[in-house]
Amino acid sequence: MVVSEEPGRGEEAAGMVYVPYNAKGMTFGEPYKKCGFCMTDENVDIWYENVEVPARYRIDEKPGDGSKIIHGYVIGLGRLAGAARLTGVATSVLEIVLDWTKDRMIAGKPVRERSLFASILAQMYRMIDLARQYYLSVTWQASRPEVYGEPWSPHMIAKFSSARSFAGEVAMFCTNKAMELMGSYGYSFEMNVEKYYRDYKIIQMWLGGAQRDLLDIAQGLYGPFRWGGYEEWLGRIHGKANPIKSNVDKTLSEAVGGSESKRIKRELEKDMEYDLDEALKKR
């Protein structure tokens, strides 16, 4: 699980800890009923109540390592693995529809030998092959960090995200076209296309989702920069006052009060601005 030693320090305090499923104080909710990955992957709520684990269960060793592991290996390489799985989904769908259109006849001729259907099958193959070559190329680059950079670097995260983003679009195109080609057969349980149609979406969504892929591509392309709109959003929801700042002000006033409260607030504002700027420079 992801932990933070001190939330105010941001990414520098982030870490990862192995927590055994049978640890004292940890309980689980009932599995959610989902659209896809119904049997092979279960999602549940996890509650922690005074859970303790040995210090040796912490995965990162030095300050800042946790953030690198999360960004580079969990999110970055996780998205790259997602690209491979999405390509596999699209490949399986193509195999099903190729087999079906071989035996399905229209006016004495196999469906796949009709020009309209043949062109759609060719599009599916072309996109799948491109997705496969792309994620394999990025995998090769990830295995050579001395040349292409560490997996947590913004430009490599952009590559991982781009591979997953494209593979997701390919899987969506192939499953949708397969259903159109096969009609009610594609929609039925026995042909498995409908299962792939449901499964591909969760692979496209995890670790940030399709839109986050695009945002991280932009950060790797011409970042780092701060996303616009956050302050405007806070203003619309809470009025002109920043609710985070208001809560800090209130807590300090109640705790120390007077001029000391104002001095601490000035120092906090300076530190928060400095930390954010430094974090952006390091990315």
For the domain 67-222, what is the CATH superfamily, name and number? Answer: Butyryl-CoA Dehydrogenase, subunit A, domain 3 (1.20.140.10)
Between the alpha carbon of residue 56 and those of residues 2, 45, 52, the distances in Å are: 15, 26, 12
pLDDT of residue 231: 67
Pure H helices in 32-105 = 65-68, 77-103
Measured in residues, the chain has a length of 283
* DSSP-derived secondary structure for 196-230: HHHHHHHHHHSTTHHHHHHHHHHHHHH---PPTTH
Domain boundaries, the chain: 18-57, 67-222, 241-269
Question: What whole-number distance in Å separates Cα of residue 27 and Cα of residue 25?
Answer: 7
pLDDT of residue 262: 72
Question: Tens of pLDDT along the chain (283 residues)?
Answer: 888 877 777 777 888 999 999 999 999 999 999 898 887 888 899 999 999 999 999 999 887 899 999 999 999 999 999 999 999 999 999 999 999 999 988 888 999 999 999 999 999 999 999 999 999 999 999 999 999 999 999 999 999 999 999 999 999 999 999 999 999 999 999 899 999 999 999 999 999 999 999 999 999 999 888 777 766 766 666 665 555 566 666 776 776 666 777 777 777 666 555 444 454 455 4
